[in-house]
Chain A
Amino acid sequence: MWSIINVELYKIFRRPRTYIAFGAIAALIIVIQLGLKIDGNTYAAFLMKDINDTLTVDGKVLNGYLICYILLQLLLVHVPLLVALIAADMISGEANLGTLRLLFTTPFSRTHWVLAKFIAASVYTILLLIWLAFLALFVSMWVFGTDDLFLMKSNYVVLIQQNDVLWRYVGAFVFASFSLLTVTSLGFLMSSLSNNSIGPIVGTMSAIVFFTILSTLNIPLFNLVKPYLFTTHMNNWKEFFDIQVNANNEAIHGSILNIPKIKNSLWVLTFHIILFVSASIIIIKKKDILS
């Protein structure tokens, strides 16, 4: 099994297309970082307009931790599209190329191949996330410095102490890996249904956009299905950055407001991953390879 995972990884990282996503992420992050470096204070002042009416905020609000949070907010919506570019091509791309029949005539079962391809696509996804973490977190920390994380949410502000932030990012990135692996598995499922690359890539992107709209619209009818949609849960990495308060309204250092919500989301995402990958295996096992 390891040998075919190796083969799949080798193929992924020899393909020029693979590096588009890494390049795109780097370009996006650098542009945003540059923008915030040059004119970040205007942006911060705009965000803090309401707060500044009442309070004076003293300290380095626009520090690396906040920049990373802003970047993740913006990028984790779009990274799935980059993941789809590779994941949705894993099977259908080879079917289109005609090489799938070469793989399926080797002494490994189709289940093994599908799993190897999924694992390889997952490695790619995780590496993409690590790349994103490196650029968004560590480069931002280096460029903007560190301080407490002053998060302006829709209805309240969370001030997380500097020494209480980094582990939350680790948690958020682990959570985000589940979100992106769900996208990988969805891309995979789409990929197993088709013999060309474009269909599954567009299909995966469309599905994400469609379900994201359902998840964000506050319409009672949609609210019934929302808890079961993976897109509803994909953005819950943010929960790592909400903090519990005690009876005196003091934030509790090292706490997370809603751990059950994170757990529930992880379960829903894991369920989707298993469902999508299992369905892919079943489809591929039954499929006649005609390409």
Chain B
Amino acid sequence: MKKNTILFFASSLFSLCLLISVTALAQTDPLIEKVAQKLALVNDYVAEGTMKTDVSFIKASLGKVKVYFKKPNLLKVKKEGGISLLPRGGVSLTINSLLNTKQYTTIPVGTQLLNGKNVSVIKLIPTDDNLDWVISTLWIDPLEALVYKTATTTKENGSYEINMQYGEYAKQGLASKIIFSFNTKDYKLPNGITLEFGDEDPTAKQKALKNKKGTIEITYSKYTINKGIPNNIF
């Protein structure tokens, strides 16, 4: 009886484990797991780099930035002694932030050729309703387990495309360059507020209306990884 009981519990436990592992297999693509594992090595980082803002209605010069990251999804971009312009809600959509939540299911879509590389395309659907993104597509190099592109649709802040390039810190899955692409809305302030009268340039206006895609490019020069970051930075 005692033996039977033990056997029953053992078989139940096994069945439960099997069920869990089967479920997990069905929801998380191994490639994503591989990427996540790689990223999991990074608890926090401070990255130094330059940021370029390319939005049709913004004239801004290159600026030095520091990007702070801390698990699971704390992220802050700080421009050194200056004002920074970042895509609304978009900065938190880095790979680390997306994958570290682990609250998603994956749907492999197939493979694609991206910038001469054969990449797997996997869609991520969040399982937590509180997350502010609806769907994200990842273009992943299966050999390096590196994400080269993501396209994320958010609940409130539109869609973002993030392109990544890798260099020195590829082992940790950290990009050397990130390009955020996003749709911009119209910008217009009445002349009565800006007190700019009679010197409108109609061609500039037309140009501004035509080009409605904005990009923000961050090129990293140095990462400081796992040295600890206080929470008050974020």
Co-complex (A, B): yes
A152 & B189 in contact (Cβ 8 Å cutoff): yes
B61 & A251 in contact (Cβ 8 Å cutoff): yes
Residues of B contacting A8 with CB < 8 Å?
none
B79 & A58 in contact (Cβ 8 Å cutoff): yes
B63 & A161 in contact (Cβ 8 Å cutoff): yes
Residue in A157, A238, A243 whose beta carbon sits within 8 Å of that of B187 in the complex? A157
Using CB atoms and an 8 Å cutoff, list the residues of chain A in contact with chain B.
Answer: 47, 50-61, 73-74, 77, 147-148, 150, 152-162, 164, 215-218, 226, 232, 235-236, 238, 242-243, 245, 248-253
Residues of B contacting A55 with CB < 8 Å?
55, 58, 85-88, 214
B200 at the interface (CB under 8 A from A): yes
B182 at the interface (CB under 8 A from A): yes
A238 & B196 in contact (Cβ 8 Å cutoff): yes
Interface size grouping (class) on chain B = 35 or more
B84 & A154 in contact (Cβ 8 Å cutoff): no
- Complex: A153 Cα to B85 Cα, angstroms: 16
- Complex: A152 Cα to B189 Cα, angstroms: 8
Residues of B contacting A216 with CB < 8 Å?
197-198
A157 & B52 in contact (Cβ 8 Å cutoff): no
Residues of B contacting A52 with CB < 8 Å?
88
A253 & B86 in contact (Cβ 8 Å cutoff): no
Residues of A contacting B183 with CB < 8 Å?
54
Residue in B52, B87, B182, B197 whose beta carbon sits within 8 Å of that of A250 in the complex? B52
- Complex: A276 Cα to B18 Cα, angstroms: 95
Closest to A58 in B: B84
Closest to B209 in A: A155
With A54-B182, A155-B208, A156-B187 given, is the CB distance from A250 to B77 under 8 Å?
A: no
Closest to A46 in B: B193
B187 & A73 in contact (Cβ 8 Å cutoff): no
User: Which 7 pairs show the lowest CB-CB distances between chains A and B?
Assistant: A59-B83, A216-B197, A159-B60, A251-B61, A148-B82, A156-B57, A148-B83
A248 & B85 in contact (Cβ 8 Å cutoff): no
Q: For A73, A215, A249, which residue has the most chain B Cβ atoms within 10 angstroms? A: A249
B82 & A54 in contact (Cβ 8 Å cutoff): no
Residues of A contacting B57 with CB < 8 Å?
155-157
Residues of A contacting B190 with CB < 8 Å?
154
With A59-B79, A156-B208, A253-B61 given, is the CB distance from A50 to B189 under 8 Å?
A: yes
With A50-B189, A55-B55, A147-B81 given, is the CB distance from A154 to B194 under 8 Å?
A: yes
With A54-B214, A59-B79, A157-B58 given, is the CB distance from A152 to B86 under 8 Å?
A: no
With A77-B195, A152-B194, A154-B196 given, is the CB distance from A59 to B189 under 8 Å?
A: no
- Complex: A77 Cα to B192 Cα, angstroms: 13
Q: For A157, A216, A236, which residue has the most chain B Cβ atoms within 10 angstroms? A: A157
Complex A-B: 17 CB contacts under 8 Å: A54-B184, A56-B85, A56-B91, A57-B83, A153-B189, A154-B188, A154-B190, A156-B57, A156-B58, A156-B187, A157-B59, A158-B58, A158-B60, A159-B85, A249-B54, A250-B54, A250-B62
- Complex: A252 Cα to B60 Cα, angstroms: 8
B129 at the interface (CB under 8 A from A): no
Residues of A contacting B208 with CB < 8 Å?
155-156
